[in-house]
Amino acid sequence: MSVLDYRAIRTVLRGCYLVREVDVCILGAGPAGLAAAVQLRRNGRDVIVLDRPPVKKPWGGETFTGTIQTTLKELGFWDRFETAGHLPGYERVSAWGGEPHTESSIMSTTGNVWHVDRDQFDLDLRRDAEHLGVPILSYLRIDCLERSRGKWSLRLDSTSEVLAPFLIDSTGRSRVLAKKLGAPVRATDWLMGLTCRVEHSERSELIPSMTLEATPYGWWYAAPTPAGHVVALFTDRDLAPPELRKKMQPVAANSAFTEWRPEDGWLPIGDACASHDPLCGWGVVRAMRNAMLAADAVSCYLSTGSLEALCDYQEHCQSQFQKYLQGLTARYSMEQRWSDSPFWGRRITAV
């Protein structure tokens, strides 16, 4: 089923609105949203993905761990990824807690990392999801959002209405649905990234590895992408040098978790659920895996009316995020050289 083929969706005209009725409506067509949509389709659910016009990622490149291969294969996305020109990475030069050293992925149980053109990656996921029968509807604004008798109504752009008993927020760090519903968001830090892209040159071709280095005011990394290199400095908002703010693109990079109630007929996935520090390196992989779990939980709820599966998913995400925060503290605490500086003092425990 293509993006224009809505045979699996009940569609009627009501006044000036084109009304589509589905089992699940997903806001956001990022990796998590599309993973959830494909899984819901496999579970026999009518689903629609609502997406605002895509915006280019400010840094354009990202590095994924080797575990992305398993997830993409399971979803049917791997073939396009493998031929898209993303760069395999086999080593990382790191200066964290001491002198620079090189880490190789050759012996890693998860295989090599992937240096990804994120714009191309997102576009390919969208194409694969549409090919697998996921309808995607672009919109500019939500005019009205309300819930009555166990069913949500979303009115869009004064032209369309979507009805669904369950909603999924996959709008990333913007958390569009969560904010509209007043869901509390628990942020644990103020990390931000200052990013830029460097086009290919003769010199850049000689730097195929990822480089990561701690500094007194934060940390930075550089990684190859199919189009060149991406460079990013991470520090706290109140510590970011004003001159760099003007020259580089600022992006949010802090850790945060969205609180929600299983009985309210919606849940968040991906960054809308749990935002991660880029230092962990597996935000996208975890977002897609958890999105598939969320899809299974929603399917179970719609079949049985029981909240048990939704509660299990919520507990999984809460426990996972807590363990992530503990691991993040341990990773930052490996760097003790600048423990008295504001950035590191906020993150590390004494060794």
Q: Comparing 12-16, 93-97, 137-141, 150-154, which segment has the lowest mean pLDDT?
A: 12-16
For 150, 196, 263, the CA distances from 305, given in Å and listed in that order, are 11, 48, 10
SS (H, E, C) 84-122: CCCEEECEEEEECCCCCEEEECCCCCCCCEEEEEHHHHH
Place 6 in a pLDDT band, splitting at 50, 70 and 90: very low
Which stretch of 49-53, 115-119, 205-209 has the lowest confidence by average pLDDT?
A: 205-209
Sign of CA dihedral 249, 124, 131, 24: negative
pLDDT digit string, tens, across residues 247-271: 899 999 999 999 999 999 999 999 9
Look at residue 292 and tell me whether its pLDDT is greater than 90: yes
Give phi and psi for 343, each to the nearest 5.
-60, -50
What is the pLDDT, as a whole number, of residue 208? 74
Looking at residue 105, its pLDDT comes to 78
Give the residue with greater pLDDT, 311 vs 201. 311
Give Cβ neighbours of residue 298 (< 8 Å, ≥ 6 apart).
24, 40, 45, 166, 168, 267, 309, 310
147: exposed, middle or buried (Cβ count in 10 Å: 0-12, 13-18, 19+): middle
Q: Measuring CA to CA, which residue among 134, 73, 145, 85 is closest to residue 289?
A: 73
pTM of the model: 0.91
Highest-confidence segment of 13-17, 28-32, 64-68: 28-32
Instruction: Check residue 204 and give its pLDDT.
Output: 55
Buried residues in 16-28 as b, exposed as e (16+ CB within 10 A)? ebbbbbbbbbbbb
d(CA 82, CA 204): 23
Digit-coded pLDDT (tens) for 159-192: 999 999 999 999 999 999 999 999 999 999 999 9
At 205, the pLDDT band (50, 70, 90 cuts) reads low
State the pLDDT at residue 10: 54
**Average pLDDT for residues 288-317, to the nearest whole number?**
98
Question: What is the structure's pLDDT at 281?
Answer: 79
Query: Mean of the pLDDT values across residues 331-342?
Result: 94
- pLDDT more than 90, % of the chain: 70
Cα dist. 182→176, 179, 185, 258, 261 in Å? 10, 5, 9, 10, 12
pLDDT at 103 over 60: yes
Q: Are 270 and 258 in contact (CB under 8 A)?
A: no
pLDDT at 4 over 50: no
Write out the two tokens for 132: 């697998």
Task: Return d(Cα 190, Cα 194) in angstroms, integer.
Answer: 13
